[in-house]
Amino acid sequence: MTEALLVALYIFVLAVFVGFEVIAKVPTLLHTPLMSGSNAISGIAVIGAILIAGRLATPYDKILGVAAVALATINVVGGFLVTDRMLRMFRRSPAERQSPAAPRHS
């Protein structure tokens, strides 16, 4: 096993635990936006897509590259935008809503 692979495995396993910790206490209220937000982050495949689209030469590979970038970009752009659209609608009771400039209290 190469050292680079070993480091990559360390990073992977630690990131899995960070994922568990970060998500474990999310209230039900936010599960849908959370799912679509984390879904947008999984569009990180766009990075791999960019790398293959930028370097490949044969026409077949170019089609693959463009398709991968386009699909991953839909995932990223659509995911973040629709999450924002949902979160924009979440509001507290009217009493607090009328004074959005007031300092946050509860």
Q: Which residues contact 26 (CB under 8 A, 6 or more apart)?
A: 34
Site for other proteins in 25-84 (CB under 8 A): 25-56, 58, 60-62, 64-84
Give the one residue of 97, 101, 103, 105 binding other proteins; rule: CB under 8 A. Answer: 97
Q: Is 99 in the site for other proteins (CB under 8 A)?
A: no
Q: Is 101 in the site for other proteins (CB under 8 A)?
A: no
Least distance from other proteins to the Cβ atom of residue 78, Å: 4
Q: Is 105 in the site for other proteins (CB under 8 A)?
A: no
